[in-house]
Structure 1
Amino acid sequence: MLHKFIQGARASFIAASAMAFFQAAHAGDFPKDVPGSTDPALIKRFAGSTLIGYKAEPWEAARLPTSAVINKDIQGKPFRDVVTVEGKRTRAVYLSPAGKSPLEVYRNHEQALSAAGFKKKFSCEVACSDQYFALTPLEFDKGLLWSRGSVPAVGSSATYNPDAAITFEDGRMWVGSLTQGGVEKWVLLYVSKAVNSNTNYSAAFIEVVEPKAMQTGQVTVLKASDIQSGLQKEGKVAFYGLYFDTGKAEIKPNSKQQLEEMGKLLKSQPSLQVYVVGHTDGQGQLDANLQLSQQRAQAVVDALVKDQRIEARRLMAKGVANLAPLDTNATEDGRARNRRVELVVR
């Protein structure tokens, strides 16, 4: 999508992006539905549309805007008001039938959402380019699987990649939620011209997040003996039994057992000094992840000092964000493995 390119002056940004995605005289087949894709559970596609971009995640964190207000004083001009929702996350990009305008596609989705009981948080229908570009820090299209084929231009042999479909041109945004069974489910809708004015298509991005409890009991607490063995063999040990809410640095109560085992090991080796290193996954901005990982590492240090009575001089907190991944950040499992706290021998 256009926002993947470095934002400089708006005019040069748009021109460079259009050139990058333009493919003259290389027409391919018209895109088909992404293999294995299905419409999100809470909203169906505009009639006759093709599902050209897709990703469904059983349990993931999503950041959604709750107002159209843009914070223009911050680099990247992100949304001012954002909520983080965890649960089943489904994202879909659709290409409408030829001749259907963005307004027609948008109004049909708007009516369908209202009929389903969704309550609007906010919408933008005029001059929404700032809201389009503010989706970039939310990484709304990260990791999507795209259809093969090409989007044709009108009156020429030019074609465009499906992943260029969502644009700022004639864009409209709608965000709302639906409460079912005490759970607030969220939808973000963005509709625009597909690629640019040279096509006769519209494109729609839909994100649905259905909060649910995460499956627990999947992480075994490392015993003091396991920690000692890891430090002796590799000089470091990774912990996945220390829990934090998304984007937060406060240790959750269910981390107590792991902290106690860490305390046992440190008490059994009074001369041992360690770094407590915080790691995040690759989502979000680097500066924010550096700050968060440092805060989480410090929170572990503070807990070991206060609750386990470990001398503060033996512990040093360091946050390295997503600079030392153990796995890919392109999958949910990989990101889960990368989110960790480590003890490293000093």
Structure 2
Amino acid sequence: MRHIILSLAVVSVLVSSSSVAYEVKGHPAFTPYSGSVATRRDDDGFKSYALVTAVNEKGKTDEEVLQTLKVKGNVIRFSYENPKDRSPHEVYTNYRQGFEKGGFKILFACVADECGARYATSRWARVTGMRYFTPEMRYFAAKGSRDGQDVYIAVLVAKARHQVELVEITQMETGLVTAESIGEGLKAEGRVVLDGILFDTDKATIKVESKPALDAIATFLRDHAALKAYIVGHTDGTGEFEHNMQLAKDRAAAVAAALVNDYQIAPERLVAHGVGSLSPARTNKTDAGRAQNRRVELVER
């Protein structure tokens, strides 16, 4: 049976042994697989986290074999014992289907030898900090959101145990755009939100506070001279549709013009488009959602 349910209810699991009984507090983003025994929760706080997004058997170093997307946020790690009457495949499939039904996008998945099994014990432990590796290992990484907040998750299932690790992209991350984060975003998804680009209300005038973000974007484009990109403007759903379409295009054009005129980026590398409210990142029913929908993205072409 498949029992995982993406839930907004806080889950608490009682853990017992011959010498101790204590409570492992769960997380509202997921419910542990039915019958699992929670053995540990680590709240690591705000830190960088390496999310495995590809395995390259031809690589030589840890970083070449296990390619990662580095994200920063509030990191929480959970460890569980598998139900004795369930296979690793059942546990893995249940978590994966549950997160997908909850709106999470799978960034990478591997099973057994696809994970580079002969490297598992050493490389996976060093790169990810995860603990449980057996020839039956299964892993997936995904990205989703909860209450307007981006959440990355990694699930590793071994023969007798499994781990669920979450990275909540917190407010400490907001507005931080670097050449490195742009590259990581394009590598993972082919597009990246240009946080820190600010405009006057209902206008395409870029605020002076946007300079650090523009500096970072220009640095990335200079470091990747062959890359060509779309600059895509987005708005929230407030106001007239045609007005929002034009505003989104004008804002994208303003960013492209700033990069060309102020940073000498070749104009043929950048094409500006506006999609208005056609592609929201979040719901337009809340202030937080509308704020995240008003954005400019860099899309590789």
TM-score by length of 2: 0.46
Greater relative CO (CA pairs within 8 A, separation 6+): 1
Q: Which has the larger radius of gyration?
A: 1
| Structure number with higher strand proportion | 2
